[in-house]
Amino acid sequence: MDFKGKKVSVIGAARSGLASVEVLKKLGAVVFLSEINSAEKFPDTVGLLKKQNIMHEFGGHSQRVYDCSLMVTSPGVPADSDVLSRAVALNIKVISELELGFLLCRGKVLAITGSNGKTTTTSLVGEIFRQAQVLCEVAGNIGQPFVSVAGDIGDNGWAIVEVSTFQLEWIDRFKPKVAAVLNITPDHLDRHKSLDNYRALKLKIFANQNGTDASIMNFDDKILKEYKSVSQTFNFSTKSEVENGCYIEQGRLYLNKGSRKKAVLDVNQIGIRGPHNTANACAASACCSAAGIDTEFIAAGLKSFKGVEHRLEEVGLTGGVSFINDSKATNVDAVYWALQSVFPPIVLIAGGRDKGGNFEILNDLVKENVKSVVLIGEASAKIAAAFEKVIDVYRAGSMKEAVIKAYELAQPNGTVLLSPGCASFDMFENFEHRGLEFKQAVAQLKKRLE
C-alpha cells in the first residue's frame, strides 16, 4: 500500500500504537496519535512524539481523530469502544497493527494463537528456524510489534508472529502461510462477553487461507478437532496418533507427513518441562514441518530451547525454598498446567484483575499439590471463595509482602509459585512488570537472609 500523504489516525499510545506511528511516519503518512489516558502515563512517548513532530492528543479522543481515511487500533482498545464504533459509522477503514504489519510484509507469515502456550510455542518455532538457518523475525504479541519488523522481511524470510484475539478483531486481508491455534479455553470473557465470541475470534486466524496454506490444530481440543479448515491441516496431539502432523507415542515425538512416520526425539530430550510444554513442542514441530523445516533442525531446536521469561521461569533457591515465576499465567487454564509442572508442596501466589475465569475447577489439583495460597489484587475475594473450602488462604497487599509470606509458608523445602491466573493491570503495567517485581522481591529476601 502507498501511505504517502494518507491521513491515518492511530488509537492507543502503548507499544504497538507507538510502533505503528513511527512506521507510518517513515512511509510518508500524515499521522495523528490519540490516547484516552493522560500524558502522565506516557512520559517517554510524549517526548518522542514531539521530537519527531508527530501530531498527538492525550486524555481523550477529540473530533480530530476522525479526520482520516484509515484508523489503526492498538489491541488494548475494545472493539465496541466509542472511538472505534464512531469510526465505523463514519465509514472509516479500521485495521489492527497486525493487519498493518501484514500489508507491509513481503515474506511469509507463520502465525500462532491460542488461550495458552502462544509465547512459548512462538519462541520455540523461532529457535527451530534459527537452527535451520532460515531467515526469520519473531514478533507480535510476544513483545516486538509485528509492524516494527514487517518491512524488513524480504521475499525469502518469515515472520513468526504471536497473535491475540484482540489483534484478530480488526484484520481484513491477514493471510498467514501457516496458522496455528494451540487450544481454546475460556479467557478474556470480560472483553469478548462469551466463549462463542472468543472462539470465533481465535478461528478468524484461518479466515483468508486457501488450499496452498497450512492450518495447525490441537487434535486433543474438542473445538479444534471438529473444525474443518479449507487449507492443508496438520494436527498435533499428546494422546493419539495423527495422520498428518505431530504426536507422542510411548515417550517419543513423531512427525507424520504424507503418511511417512519419522521419530524426532525422546520426550525427555525436550528442553522445556511440563505436560503443557510437551503439547507446545508438538505444536511447534507441526508448524515447522508444515513450513518445510527438516526433522533434524526440529530436533535440534527442541533440545536447545529452554523456555521464555515469566513462564515457569526458575528464579532460584532461597533459604531452601525454590521460587518459580509464572507471571505469564494470566488465565485459569495456565494455572492448571503450572500446578502439574512444579514439584509439590507448592505455595501458590495468585490474583490480579479478574478475566471471568472459574477458579473452582482447580480445587482438586490445589487440594492435591498446594500447601497454601497467598492472594493479591482485585480478584482476591473471588479466588478466596473458590479455594477456602479446600486450602488455607492468606492475603497480601503487595508483591513483596506476598513473597515474604509465601516463603514463611513454604519452609523448609517447598516451592513458591507465582501463577496468578489473572490479568496484571490492577497493580502492574503488564505481566512482565509483575514478574520482574516478583523476582526483585525474591532477590531482596535472599539478600536479607544472607
Check residue 31 and report its DSSP letter: E
CATH number at residue 82: 3.40.50.720
> Do residues 203 and 318 share a domain?
no
Mean pLDDT computed over 398-426: 95
The Cα–Cα gap between 312 and 337 comes to: 10
Answer yes or no: is pLDDT of 308 > 60. yes
Mean pLDDT computed over 330-335: 90
Give the pLDDT confidence score for residue 198 in this predicted structure. Answer: 85
> Do residues 148 and 208 share a domain?
yes
Beta strands in 327-430 (DSSP E): 346-350, 370-375, 392-395, 415-418
CATH number at residue 132: 3.40.1190.10
Q: Which amino acid is at 197?
A: N
How do residues 85-114 score in pLDDT, each as one tens digit?
999 999 999 999 999 999 999 999 999 999
Give the pLDDT confidence score for residue 240 in this predicted structure. Answer: 93
Mean pLDDT computed over 129-141: 95
> Do residues 251 and 174 share a domain?
yes
CATH number at residue 369: 3.90.190.20
Check residue 388 and report its DSSP letter: T
DSSP symbols for 51-82 = HTT-EEEESS--GGGGSSSEEEE-TTS-TTSH
Please, are residues 376 and 402 in contact by the beta-carbon 8 Å criterion?
Answer: yes
Give the pLDDT confidence score for residue 333 in this predicted structure. Answer: 86
DSSP symbols for 170-193 = T-SS---SEEEE----S--HHHH-
How do residues 251-292 score in pLDDT, each as one tens digit?
999 999 876 889 999 999 999 988 889 999 999 999 999 999
The Cα–Cα gap between 167 and 415 comes to: 36
Q: Domain boundary at 254, 286, 304, which?
A: 304
Look at residues 362, 367, 374, 379 and name the one whose alpha carbon lies nearest to residue 438. Answer: 374
**Strand 313-318 versus strand 260-266 pairing type:** unpaired
Answer yes or no: is pLDDT of 212 > 80. yes
> Do residues 117 and 158 share a domain?
yes
How do residues 137-168 score in pLDDT, each as one tens digit?
999 978 799 999 999 999 999 999 999 988 99
The Cα–Cα gap between 361 and 345 comes to: 19
The Cα–Cα gap between 372 and 367 comes to: 9
Mean pLDDT computed over 61-78: 95
Answer yes or no: is 116 within a domain.
yes
Please give the residue that has the higher pLDDT: either 143 or 41: 41
How do residues 52-64 score in pLDDT, each as one tens digit?
899 999 999 999 9
| 249 Cα distance to chain centroid | 28
Answer yes or no: is 263 within a domain.
yes
> Do residues 262 and 344 share a domain?
no
Give the pLDDT confidence score for residue 193 in this predicted structure. Answer: 61
> Do residues 75 and 108 share a domain?
no
Answer yes or no: is 115 within a domain.
yes
The Cα–Cα gap between 45 and 48 comes to: 5
Q: Domain boundary at 68, 91, 114, which?
A: 91
Answer yes or no: is 426 within a domain.
yes
Please, are residues 276 and 337 in contact by the beta-carbon 8 Å criterion?
Answer: yes
Answer yes or no: is 2 within a domain.
no
Answer yes or no: is pLDDT of 79 > 60. yes
Q: How many domains does the chain have?
A: 3
Question: What's the mean per-residue pLDDT of the chain?
Answer: 93
Check residue 338 and report its DSSP letter: H
CA atoms within 13 A on the CB side of 35: 23
The Cα–Cα gap between 323 and 337 comes to: 17
Answer yes or no: is pLDDT of 192 > 60. no
Give the pLDDT confidence score for residue 187 in this predicted structure. Answer: 58
Please, are residues 208 and 132 in contact by the beta-carbon 8 Å criterion?
Answer: no
Answer yes or no: is 209 within a domain.
yes
Give the pLDDT confidence score for residue 223 in this predicted structure. Answer: 86
Give the pLDDT confidence score for residue 105 in this predicted structure. Answer: 97
pLDDT band at 1 (very low <50, low <70, confident <90, very high): confident
Answer yes or no: is pLDDT of 65 > 80. yes
Helix axis angle, 295-304 relative to 275-290, nearest 10°? Answer: 150
Residue 108 belongs to domain spanning: 100-304
> Do residues 243 and 320 share a domain?
no
> Do residues 143 and 50 share a domain?
no
Length of the chain measured in residues: 450
> Do residues 320 and 428 share a domain?
yes
Residue 109 bridge partners (DSSP): 159
> Do residues 157 and 86 share a domain?
no
Give the pLDDT confidence score for residue 425 in this predicted structure. Answer: 87
The Cα–Cα gap between 95 and 123 comes to: 26
Helical spans, DSSP H, in 90-186: 97-104, 118-131, 146-150, 165-168
Answer yes or no: is 1 within a domain.
no
The Cα–Cα gap between 94 and 74 comes to: 11
Q: What percent of the chain has pLDDT over 90?
A: 76
> Do residues 200 and 233 share a domain?
yes
Give the pLDDT confidence score for residue 185 in this predicted structure. Answer: 76
Q: Domain boundary at 91, 123, 154, which?
A: 91
How do residues 361-373 score in pLDDT, each as one tens digit?
999 999 999 999 9
Answer yes or no: is pLDDT of 312 > 90. no
* Residue in this structure with the C-alpha cell 512482565, named with its chain if needed: 432
Answer yes or no: is 44 within a domain.
yes
The Cα–Cα gap between 98 and 223 comes to: 25
Q: What percent of the chain has pLDDT over 70?
A: 98
> Do residues 435 and 389 share a domain?
yes
Mean pLDDT computed over 412-432: 93
Please, are residues 365 and 341 in contact by the beta-carbon 8 Å criterion?
Answer: no
